[in-house]
Amino acid sequence: MADSTMTMTDGDAASETGSGAEVAARSSDGVRSPRFVGGVLLLVLVAMWVAGWFSGTTAEEMLSLTVWGVMLGGIIALGGIGLTLCYGVLKFPNFAHGEFLTLGAYITYGSILVLPQTNPIWRFSFGWELLLGMVLAIIITAVVAIVLDKLLYRRLRMHGSPLVLLAMASLGMEFLLRGIVYLIWGSNYHFYYSGRANPAMDFPFGVRVQADQLFVFALAFILVVALYWMLTRTRMGKAMRATADNPDLAQVRGINTERVIAWTWAIGAGLAAVGGVMYGLASQMRPDMGFLLLLPLFAAVIMGGIGSAWGALVGAIIIGVAMQLTSAFLNPTYGPAVAFTLMVLVLLMRPQGLFAQN
């Protein structure tokens, strides 16, 4: 299937690789340069702005939508960096990744119901019990991911199964986990704090952003930096990159690939759990949130380049902004369709994504 490598560029992530004379928009095998693809995406976003403007939305509202799109991108990025990590190391698309988000959100919800309610921190809408619940959710989701790996994916790897079967198995796990969430918590939608006021803060140009949204974006950014730091500076990160590059060679060099894979699942699922909590906070908790976000998640990861943490963040922001901008002139439920179209657009021009190095 894939031979995508983990990409940890030290310098400007959008720079092209290869010789400095590579200024053409298209390389020899028909793949466009990242700058070209970035330019096309920017044009698409501008076109969406114009379309929204012509459909009657004011410029101020479009600006608000853009800002909210960046915030939504933060949420998608939290799920996306976990997914890009797993995809890069394990080489198959984990269709159950959305369910890690759902699990994280619902476990936090369950813990909030049990823990005593505290006052909201600063101007956020949540108190300390949410953060405590989130930590618990991270641990439990990571454990679930590792258990799934040991029971199912590891056995398939030992059999030498083609990656297609792993993808199918992950689709099965998606329905299993979603069924479990439905069984335990029911099919109703919930809010973390129903009835609690969550006023937005005013910024210039008429933009109003909730403190929660700022928290989400800041958390996403911090976690992306932390992941990047881990992948480049720590031994486990280097081992992950080595396993992603060439698992057999990594084993020859003494890296315990099974341990690396377990850590990959744990970190990926933990990040997804945080993403789920943030989505539940910003929007609401629904049992199918994982499946709903699956398409934007994959779109962000594939656009950014599989295995690249910065790629996932940038891809997620582009997807988020696009989804919010199109809600000005399209039915908002078509958000995943917009994400999908952008993904196909990038795949047509540059299949390895924006930040991949080959």
Partner 1 sequence: MDPAHLVKAFFLMLPTFLLGCLLFGRWRWPLRLPAAVLFGILVPLAVAAFIPGVMDYLVSFCTMASIYAVLSLGLNAQWGYNGHLNFGVAAFFGMGMFTMALFVSTAPTGPLALYAQQLFGLNAPFLVGLVAAAVMAGVLGYLVAQPILHLRIDFLAIATLGIAEIVRLIFQNERWLANGPQPFSGIPQPLSCVFKAPRCGWLPDWFLDATAVLQPRDYAYLYLVIVVIALAIIYAMLEAMVRSPWGRALRAVRDEESSAAMSGKHVKSLRVQSFVLGCVIMGIAGGLYAPFMVTIDYSHLNPLFSTFLVWVMLMLGGSGNNKGAILGAFVIWAVWSGTGYVTSGLESALSNIAPDIARRMSFLRWAFVGLLLAAIVLYRPQGLLPEKKRVSRFLRGVPEN
Nearer to partner 1, 127 or 247 (CB): 247
b/e code 106-125 from CB counts within 10 Å (16+ = b): bbbbbbbeeeeeeebeeebb
The answer to whether residues 338 and 323 touch, using CB atoms and an 8 Å cutoff, is yes
Q: From 31-39, 62-70, 103-111, 152-160, give the range in contact with partner 1 by CB under 8 A.
A: 152-160
What is the bridge-based pairing of β-strands 200-202 and 208-210? antiparallel
Does 175 participate in binding partner 1 (rule CB under 8 A)?
yes
Does 329 participate in binding partner 1 (rule CB under 8 A)?
no
Does 349 participate in binding partner 1 (rule CB under 8 A)?
no
Give the x/- contact pattern for partner 1 in 43-82, rule: CB under 8 A: ----------------------------------------
The answer to whether residues 104 and 181 touch, using CB atoms and an 8 Å cutoff, is no
Does 156 participate in binding partner 1 (rule CB under 8 A)?
yes
Does 179 participate in binding partner 1 (rule CB under 8 A)?
yes
Q: From 62-70, 180-188, 192-200, 278-286, give the range in contact with partner 1 by CB under 8 A.
A: 180-188
Q: Which of 343, 350, 354, 355 binds partner 1 (CB under 8 A)?
A: 343
Does 186 participate in binding partner 1 (rule CB under 8 A)?
yes
The answer to whether residues 149 and 267 touch, using CB atoms and an 8 Å cutoff, is no
* Total of residues contacting partner 1 (CB under 8 A): 47
Q: Which of 49, 92, 106, 263 binds partner 1 (CB under 8 A)?
A: 92
Task: State the Cα–Cα distance between residues 222 and 42, nearest whole angstrom.
Answer: 25
Q: Which of 86, 302, 303, 321 binds partner 1 (CB under 8 A)?
A: 302
The answer to whether residues 95 and 174 touch, using CB atoms and an 8 Å cutoff, is yes
The answer to whether residues 152 and 90 touch, using CB atoms and an 8 Å cutoff, is no
Does 113 participate in binding partner 1 (rule CB under 8 A)?
no
Does 31 participate in binding partner 1 (rule CB under 8 A)?
no
| Token digits of residue 61 | 């509202």
The answer to whether residues 6 and 228 touch, using CB atoms and an 8 Å cutoff, is no
b/e code 278-291 from CB counts within 10 Å (16+ = b): bbbbbeebbbbbbb
Helix (H, G, I), strand (E, B) or coil at 285: strand
Q: From 124-132, 139-147, 171-179, 208-216, give the range in contact with partner 1 by CB under 8 A.
A: 171-179
CA dihedral 254, 259, 264, 270 (to 10 degrees): -150
Does 174 participate in binding partner 1 (rule CB under 8 A)?
yes
Nearer to partner 1, 74 or 93 (CB): 93
The answer to whether residues 100 and 290 touch, using CB atoms and an 8 Å cutoff, is yes
Does 104 participate in binding partner 1 (rule CB under 8 A)?
no
Q: From 18-26, 116-124, 266-274, 293-301, give the range in contact with partner 1 by CB under 8 A.
A: 293-301
The answer to whether residues 44 and 322 touch, using CB atoms and an 8 Å cutoff, is yes
The answer to whether residues 321 and 209 touch, using CB atoms and an 8 Å cutoff, is no
Does 40 participate in binding partner 1 (rule CB under 8 A)?
no
Q: Which of 295, 317, 319, 328 binds partner 1 (CB under 8 A)?
A: 295
Helix (H) or strand (E) holding 202: strand 200-202
Residue 166 CB, shortest distance to partner 1, in Å, is 8
Does 351 participate in binding partner 1 (rule CB under 8 A)?
yes
Using CB under 8 A, list all residues that contact partner 1: 1-2, 92-93, 95, 152, 155-156, 159, 161, 163-165, 167-169, 171-180, 182-183, 186-187, 291, 294-295, 298-299, 302, 331, 333-334, 336-337, 340, 343-344, 347-348, 351
